[in-house]
Amino acid sequence: MNSNSLNQKGISLYYQVETYIRTKIESGEWDSGQKLPTETELCKYFGVSRTTVRQAVNSMVEGGLLVRRQGSGTYVTQPAYARNRLSTQPSDSVCRYIYMPILQDDMARSYQNLLLTHISHILMLCEQNLISHEDGKKLLNFILPLRNMHPQVIGSNPLNEDYCLNFEQYLISHLGIELAGKIYIARSRNDMTPTVIRMSIRDSLLIIYDRLIVLVRRLLILAEENQEYIITGYTHSMPAQPITLDHYFLAVTEALIRDLERLLSAYRTLNLSPLGACAMAGTSFPINRKYTAQLLGFDGIITNTLDAVAARDYLLELSADFSTLGSTLARFSQDLYLWSTAEFDYVSFSDSFSCCSSIMPQKKNALSIEHIKSKSSHLTSAYLDIIMCLKGTGYEHCRDLFECMPPFWNAVEQLTGMLELTIGTLRDITFHHERMEHMADINNSVLTDIADFLVQKDHISFRTAHNIIASTVKEKEGVGQITLSQLNTISKNHMGHPTSLTEAEWASLQSARISVKNKKSEGSPAPNHCRKMLLSLRMAADRSSEQLNKITNSLQLAEQFRNEQTAALID
């Protein structure tokens, strides 16, 4: 190498070195597989430090243009077969900010589903006699062992753009372009990618379904364990009326059952196969789309081929359901959060889900509850991110659709975390029942029941009874319960005579427990109604669990069918 002085003002030296190397590669002067000069030679040639050379080379290795081989050196990588239309490799910024993040995401989530999709496509090609059974057998014998290998075996070179093309590059380099290339009959990244995405989302949903059912059952256990324990019910965060702790848990459970049913309903939209739509207009090859859908555990196909590659409404449906579920969990957590304060002192959490202060020795903070509340914000943000990604796109396949996935996968992780944290927190939680009932007895939350009693005994309108009691509370000095004497004084001002309440009746009406017991309407906190709701919600949880079992069994049958078809071809 001759000496080359870098003298472009205002441009970093490492970037000038990188530009020089890239020019050599893209001009063809440095061919694929060629070994680069040593680090010492590059330093001498450019007249720069080792740090500058390393920064340039590291950047190009990260971008996939170069590859290091331990103990051998640095080499120019093989250009992607699918980029023959283009004269230059993707830029470092494209690799770093577009291709590499998507690749890493796919490696983490989609490896197995990518292999299964290829396996199913090969089986279909053989079934339709589009490739020979001998070629199909060779392809399957190569791909099947990959299922037991690490995703990195395929490689993750961003020059190949995505995981599909990295896999194509891997197959061609090992099997040759004639054999490996036959897999790509009647398929495209445009239908392969949404197929793999739907399968990967399906995997994540099964976990979310399971965790949500576990949480529902835990709440039902808490409801059963805390029957008839009195607690104040609140409106506007102010004492409203006495209820029971099981009544509260049943309310939250009912909301979670609705969230679960929404998510289970969304599965029907998700679990349809785009495979076979190809680029967007189908194919002239006589393929069997329903066969591959059956092999992959889909309930059917998305019939219109354009819709198959363009549709992302399932992301909106699921992310909206995630946000709704997150809201339920956050509101539940907010109640527990307030109840754990010293002023309420209704509950306490285990040390394993708490943290303490680095300076204030008395502090025990509700760690998990705070994070459950705040994580719900990510779920709403994900929905907004996805809908804004789709806004303004034509109904077609385009790169905008890829930007929908990072917020969606983040929502999946955040929601899974929220469910796990909630389940864990509720496994070891202590309720201070005496404190709860004591507060319900002294905070005037029974006054609505007193108004109801006056309506029935003195035959006055509810609004008159309401006004008498409201005026009594207003005129009373200081805190604490109102007295019958105070009530009768105000009653004389309103009606010209006192109420007919006796001291015994008045004393009885002060009890929060009696207030709950006297409730007669369906769905109230009275013990008989709570027992009825508990049974109903158990049945609802069983139905959802049965629906999840059907989904799981369906996928297991698809796996069994795929294995049988694979074995038949290989054997």
pLDDT of the residue at 1? 53
Active-site position among 27, 132, 173, 357: 357
Taking the C-alpha atoms of residue 216 and residue 256, their distance in angstroms, rounded to an integer, is: 7
351-401: pLDDT as tens digits: 888 898 889 888 888 889 999 999 999 999 999 999 999 998 999 999 899
Q: Are strands 347-349 and 230-235 parallel, antiparallel or unpaired?
A: unpaired
Residue 174 has φ and ψ, to the nearest 5°, of -100, -30
pLDDT of the residue at 194? 96
Tell me the domains of the chain and their CATH numbers: 13-77 (1.10.10.10), 93-185 (1.10.275), 205-438+538-570 (1.20.200.10), 447-510 (no CATH)
CB 263, CB 219: distance < 8 Å: no
pLDDT of the residue at 313? 96
Taking the C-alpha atoms of residue 65 and residue 33, their distance in angstroms, rounded to an integer, is: 11
pLDDT of the residue at 431? 97
Q: 240 vs 233, 236, 471, 493, CA distance in Å?
A: 6, 9, 17, 26
Taking the C-alpha atoms of residue 98 and residue 249, their distance in angstroms, rounded to an integer, is: 46
In 84-94, which positions are buried (b, 16+ CB within 10 angstroms) versus exposed (e)? eeeeebbebee
Strand partners, 429: 349
pLDDT of the residue at 190? 94
pLDDT of the residue at 86? 62
Active-site position among 72, 236, 358, 459: 236
Q: What is the DSSP string of 55-89?
A: HHHHHHHHTTSEEEETTTEEEEPPPPGGGTT-SSP
Please indicate whether residue 357 is annotated as part of the active site: yes
170-200: pLDDT as tens digits: 888 788 889 999 999 999 999 999 999 999 9
pLDDT of the residue at 16? 82
* SS3 label, residue 492: helix
Half-sphere exposure of 297 (CA within 13 A, CB side): 23
Low-confidence residues in the chain, pLDDT < 70:
1-11, 26, 62-64, 79-89, 477-479
The CA angle 483-484-485, to the nearest 5 degrees, is: 90
Map 323-386 to HEC letters: HHHHHHHHHHHHHHHHHCCCCCCCEEECHHHCECCCCCCCCCECHHHHHHHHHHHHHHHHHHHH
pLDDT of the residue at 36? 87
pLDDT of the residue at 163? 81
pLDDT of the residue at 463? 94
